Structure 1
Amino acid sequence: MTTPDSPLTVYGNPLSTCTRRVLFALREKGVPYELVAVDLRAGEHKSPEFLKLQPFGQIPVLQDGTFTLFESRAICRYIERKYRGHGTSLIPEGAKEAGIVDEWCSVEQAIFDPPCSGLVSELLFKKSRGLEHDPLRARVLVRQLEEVMDVYERHLSDGKEYLAGEFSLADLFHAPYGVYLAPVGLLPILTTPSRPHVKAWWERLVARKAWREVEET
């Protein structure tokens, strides 16, 4: 077990969904970190200095001494592996149990995230940039996300509190984009009483102390 000592450095933005994903993992693990704010509006993420850290000009980026890593889900896995045994376990040790976590991490990235992040981009991020959204695309994405959550409801209906049984990265990865459904009036997709198990799972997830701390950052 590696004991946290000197803080890790996270280059990102406290309102960025992917930055929040990393901060959520760090707080669950109890790992100290320094958040270095990257001004996206000023284009700092496209500066020559930043592109040396992240060649695609995206956030977040993690620096651990001389080691640099980007892509939020990869960073979260690195944090769990380095600090295994410290704080909350985010990937179980058993091969089968870890396989189920990986399965639902893949579901989040390939099946949940596209319609959810698409809606946030279409209805929130475009508006913040003064762009018109596409109502037809938004309706299609809503329907897709509703269908995804119907599957989640069936999966959780056997009494599991979290997607893989215990809290893990599979759940954590959902929070950053899911909460941004609220400002566009679509949070009921996750909280409708017609999907009571999804509602309980979601409310349990965002009530975690680590996530509340991230939202206060």
Structure 2
Amino acid sequence: MFVNDGSELTAQVLHATSTNKNAFKALIAAEYSGVKVELVKDFEPGVSNKTPEFLKMNPIGKVPVLETPDGAVFESNAIARYVTRLKPDNPLYGSSIIDYGHVEQWIDFSTTEIDTNIGRWLYPRLGFVPYLPPSEEIAISALKRALEALNTYLASNTYLVGHGITLADIVMTCNLFYGFKVILTKSFTSQFPHVERYFWTLVNQPNFQKFLGDVKQAESIPPVASKKPSQPKEPAKPQKAKEEPKKEVKTEEVKPKEEAEEEDAPKPKPKNPLDLLPPSKMILDEWKRLYSNTKTNFREVAMKGFWDMYDPEGYSLWFCDYKYNDENTVSFVTLNKVSGFLQRMDLARKYAFGKMLIIGSGGPFKVKGLWLFRGTEIPQFVLDECYDMELYEWTKVDINDEAQKERVSQMIEDAEPFEGEPLLDAKCFK
């Protein structure tokens, strides 16, 4: 292994752009280690990494690649490890064998649990791969599980290994950096306060800041790219030279056995627990039609109809208040946040009606809502599958309280001013 014995090292050349988060791993490690790593000049993605010279260093053309006096190294974690080991007894690998093991442990965790799931959430939204809502929910759930584990660990640890920055912190921070910058909004990361503290502490260290610059957190989740991936055309079926007469086939020869029919028959889809509730006098679709079709005298027609229909034994009403209104300083970001919530609530459309109010003439804006759900509690599948739910405080409406009942009516009819403040917008889920 080539190590620094105190003599001047030949600079290692890193083939990547100056904004590549995977390249940052090696650059920051080199800065801490006193190793010279220079970015190749005028690197152009999609061009520079397709040249014969580059493909000789990495046959599949992925970036980054480190060009060294002894040969090329590809894969960003391997490059960061190589750079770190150029300095003997480098504290970036800790001070013992167990420290070394823990550094490697957190590098793997950062890659497989953090970086991978950020990508699974982000890349379909950017149009790099097909967008599938169930896959997104799986990615978000897996990412939250990983961040919860990391948050628990960091509750009693400043760094990942020991009492100083190691290569594990460098790799973890670079992977979190891209997430914080592009898709991990404050409303999402606020669930993990120790991760937030850790991340902002690291990115503001001089050796990190030199390459990452002033990091700003994403204000909204990127919308799903509208462009659909092109579908390959089905190849034309070859025409038969001559139509052959159909052969008569005996019925008993092609008829499947009853057992096979039973095995091949699709299994019935399990019913939603809400479909098994006793019938209710309130028909949700009738209320939605009344709401949509009432153009005048809304209070006398629609709201009177609502309270005549409402069945407290078959439905429940809930107020919701966004927990982090102080973050809602930009109007369009706040509106996008609410729109995203309603989009993700689509799984409950058959069982719910909602109104979301964005309140205020200037930031920070308040976000308040009213929801009607089938059943006497918030459906468990909504709590499990829509992560936005935990961003709100939920309070069950007491319809015997006239003040609460009046507040329900005002929210449904978009009364303005609402609680003394103007409405920026009101959105309906129906």
Q: Same fold (TM over 0.5)?
A: yes
1:35-114 correspondence runs (5 A): 35-36=39-40, 37-41=42-46, 43-85=47-89, 89-114=91-116
8 Å contact kept, 1:53–1:68:
yes
1:183 is displaced (CA, Å) by: 4.4
1:136 is displaced (CA, Å) by: 3.9
The aligned counterpart of 1:196 is 193
The 3-state SS of whatever aligns with 2:62 is: coil
The residue identity in structure 1 corresponding to 2:113 is I
Relative contact order: is structure 1 or structure 2 higher (C-alpha 8 Å, sep ≥ 6)? 1
The aligned counterpart of 1:115 is 117
| Number of corresponding residues | 207
Structure 2 residue runs of 5 or longer lacking an equivalent are: 214-430
The aligned counterpart of 1:149 is 147
8 Å contact kept, 2:154–2:160:
yes
Equivalent-residue separation in structure 2 for 1:189 and 1:179 (angstroms): 16
1:146 is displaced (CA, Å) by: 1.1
8 Å contact kept, 2:111–2:175:
no
Larger Rg: 2
Equivalent-residue separation in structure 1 for 2:151 and 2:187 (angstroms): 11
1:114-193 correspondence runs (5 A): 114-124=116-126, 126=127, 133-158=131-156, 160-165=157-162, 166-188=164-186, 191-192=189-190
Matched, 1:29 2:24: no
1:8-23 correspondence runs (5 A): 8-23=12-27
8 Å contact kept, 2:173–2:202:
yes
**Percent of pairs identical after alignment?**
24
The 3-state SS of whatever aligns with 1:9 is: strand
The residue identity in structure 2 corresponding to 1:148 is A
Q: What is the Cα-based RMSD across aligned positions, in Å?
A: 2.4
Q: Deviations over 1:73-106 (max 9, x none)?
A: 11111111111356xx210131111111111112
Higher helix share: 1
- Give the stretch that moved more between structures: 53-62 or 77-86: 77-86
The 3 A distance-change label for structure 1 pair 183 and 111 is closer
Q: Deviations over 1:15-36 (max 9, x none)?
A: 2222222222122223222211
Q: Deviations over 1:103-125 (max 9, x none)?
A: 1112112222210232332334x
The 3-state SS of whatever aligns with 1:69 is: strand
8 Å contact kept, 1:21–1:176:
yes
The residue identity in structure 1 corresponding to 2:208 is W
TM-score (ref. length: structure 1): 0.83
8 Å contact kept, 1:91–1:98:
yes
- Give the stretch that moved more between structures: 29-38 or 179-188: 179-188
The 3 A distance-change label for structure 1 pair 175 and 34 is same
8 Å contact kept, 1:26–1:79:
yes
Structure 1 residue runs of 5 or longer lacking an equivalent are: none
- Give the stretch that moved more between structures: 195-204 or 132-141: 132-141
8 Å contact kept, 1:120–1:177:
no
1:135 is displaced (CA, Å) by: 4.1
Equivalent-residue separation in structure 1 for 2:32 and 2:187 (angstroms): 26
The 3 A distance-change label for structure 1 pair 99 and 174 is same
TM-score (ref. length: structure 2): 0.44
- Give the stretch that moved more between structures: 63-72 or 131-140: 131-140
Equivalent-residue separation in structure 1 for 2:181 and 2:196 (angstroms): 18
Q: Deviations over 1:29-64 (max 9, x none)?
A: 2322221143114x3212222101111101111122
Equivalent-residue separation in structure 2 for 1:151 and 1:69 (angstroms): 32
